[in-house]
Amino acid sequence: MSVQDNVDLERIGIIGICGWGGIALQTAAIDTRIKATVTSTMYDLSRVTGNGYFDANDNEEPRHKMRVALNKQRTADFKTGSYAKAGGVVDPLPEDAPKFVKDYYAYYKTPRGYHKRSLNSNSGWNVTAATSLLNTRLFTYTNEIRNAVLVIHGDQAHSCYISKDAYTDMIKDSEYTDNKELLLIPGASQTDLYDQKNIIPFAKMGAFFDKYLK
């Protein structure tokens, strides 16, 4: 982006949604050309992969079992010449599915968010894609980000703890907290911030970029 003639090098901002929100935050930590970052309904894919949802499997045994399974799959993929898929959003939807799974279904499996090339709408990621995330932690050195960051999340999202923790870690022992903000949207779920125009805080994001990309 920075080498394009139509890009102002001093006014580069990024927005990351869901899993790409976590990647955007790490990008802000490593790339000083980025002057302002917005994350929305952010996922930390590395934490969820390594620890499970809500850190329920944050110990060595389940991680070891996952490593064994992933490496067996790598061998199997080579032998078959194709990559096994992890599967997208569960279909058919079980009646007792957690609310956030029902929310995902209502987005990815309906005209609201379905696309024929969407991984979550169809067969999902390669099983072995989790290998690179299992031992990685995306939010390394985020408290050294000097440029502006706005973290947005719905307070009813199952993943809200990720943004809360990320914000806490980002300002811990940091000298650069005045341009960091956590914005929780009352009543909003994970998928509400994907496409619900009456809920997404467009005005706030616009004002944020106007301020920090002068």
Stretch 165-194: mean pLDDT, rounded? 98
Which domains occur in the chain, in start order?
1-44+138-214 (3.40.50.1820), 87-124 (1.10.10.800)
Q: Taking all residues of the chain, what is their mean pLDDT, rounded to a whole number?
A: 97
* Per-residue pLDDT, 110: 97
Query: Are the CB atoms for 90 and 105 separated by under 8 Å?
Result: yes
What are φ and ψ of residue 11, in 5° steps? Answer: -135, 45
Stretch 127-144: mean pLDDT, rounded? 95
Sign of CA pseudo-dihedral 137, 143, 144, 146: positive
Which pTM does this prediction carry?
A: 0.94
* Per-residue pLDDT, 1: 84
Q: Tokens representing 144?
A: 């050294």
Q: Tokens representing 55?
A: 């850190």
pLDDT bin (cut points 50, 70, 90) of residue 149 is: very high
Q: How far apart are the first and last CA of the chain?
A: 18
Could you give the angle at the alpha carbon of 19 between the alpha carbons of 213 and 102, nearest 5°? 125
Q: What letter would DSSP give residue 159?
A: T
Cα 136 to Cα 47: distance, rounded to the nearest angstrom = 8
* Per-residue pLDDT, 2: 86
DSSP string, 182-205: EEEETT--TTHHHH-TTTS-HHHH
pLDDT bin (cut points 50, 70, 90) of residue 143 is: very high
pLDDT in tens, 2-40: 899 999 999 999 999 999 999 999 999 999 999 999 999
Cα 166 to Cα 50: distance, rounded to the nearest angstrom = 16
pLDDT in tens, 81-95: 999 999 999 999 999
